[in-house]
Each structure stands twice: as C-alpha cells, then as structure tokens.
C-alpha cells in the first residue's frame, strides 16, 4: 500500500503542533519551512485536517494552526482519513464477472474472496493506526532524543515562529 507524501507531512505537522503551548499557533508557511516541504501542498493537507476537526485555524496575518483536540485524542488513522478520505485502499471492481464467456450471475452470489481478504487486511491495518496516538508518538520521540538535539532544534525554531492567539477579552483604555 502506498500513501501520499501528504500523509507524512500531515503527521509530522500534527506532531509538531502537539508541542505548542495552549495559546500557541504556527503558520502553514512555518510548518512547511521546518519540514522542508512545499507550502502550497502542505496547506492543502492542513485544510483537510481542519475540515476533519483535528486542527483549529485562526485566520489573519498573525493566525495559524493548532490542535483542535488533545494529542491523545488524535490517532494516525484520524490523520490518514482526513487527508486520504474514508474509502478503503482496495476497491473491488468485480472484474471476475467480465471478459469473454462470462458466467451467469448465480456464479457470483458469494462475495469475491480477493475483496474479502483485502478488506480483512484493511480492517487490521486501520485498527493498528487507530491505536497509535500523536501523544504516544511524541512521547517516543522525547524518549529517543537522548542528547536533546531534536528538542533543541524544535525550540530554536519555535522561538522564531511561534505565534499566540490574541486575547478575546476587549481592551479597556
């Protein structure tokens, strides 16, 4: 099974957003810069994640993206379904019923066994992806960062690019 490059970009972006403080935001441009990817391609996937309710979008010149749910409530499957859609990877076209000298429809009363096997595999694949959360992944990255280089890189980048959501409280002059 081959997933689009957008899946990797979306997962890394969500993982990075998981490290922000509650009022923190990152622009699509900053996320694209950090990961060295096309801003327009990443923006398409960030918008899909927003439509799926995984990210909040704060509009405006100082806006950006942040998680809409806690990292332990976002699974890899949530991200994949947001970017790729809910359709199964294998879609049976019933080609067994085509070609020369087709059999009568009665020969195809039982489901296609190839389709049945592929759907079983898809259910197992999705169950595993549903089990893995962004919180688990980020905790593993922290555990594996024995020299602190990964954390330091992220902190340096966030010092330059972190935005905060403006207060909703009106100012009193």
Q: Which pLDDT tens digit goes with each residue over 48-90?
A: 999 999 999 999 888 999 999 999 999 999 999 999 999 988 8
CA 172 to the chain's CA centroid: 41
Domain ranges in the chain are: 5-164
Query: Above 80 in pLDDT, residue 172?
Result: no
Helices and strands in the chain, H and E counts: 7, 4
Quote the pTM value.
0.86
Task: Give CA–CA dist 73/36, Å, rounded.
Answer: 27
The class (CATH top level) of 5-164 is: mainly alpha
Residue 72 host element (H or E):
none
């Amino acid at each position: 099974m081959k997933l689009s490059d957008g899946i990797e970009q979306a997962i890394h972006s969500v993982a990075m957003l998981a490290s922000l403080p509650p009022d923190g935001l990152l622009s699509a441009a900053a996320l694209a810069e950090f990961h060295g990817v096309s801003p327009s391609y990443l923006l398409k996937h960030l918008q899909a994640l927003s439509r799926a309710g995984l990210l909040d979008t704060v509009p405006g010149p100082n806006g950006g993206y942040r998680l809409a749910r806690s990292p332990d409530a976002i699974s890899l499957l949530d991200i994949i379904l947001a970017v790729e859609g809910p359709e199964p990877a294998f879609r049976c076209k019933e080609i067994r019923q085509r070609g020369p000298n087709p059999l009568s429809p009665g020969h195809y009363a039982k489901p296609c066994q190839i389709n049945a096997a592929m759907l079983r595999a898809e259910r197992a694949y999705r169950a595993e992806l549903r089990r893995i959360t962004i919180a688990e992944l980020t905790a593993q990255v922290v555990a594996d960062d024995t020299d602190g280089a990964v954390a330091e890189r992220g902190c340096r980048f966030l010092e330059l690019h972190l935005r905060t959501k403006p207060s909703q409280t009106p100012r009193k002059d």
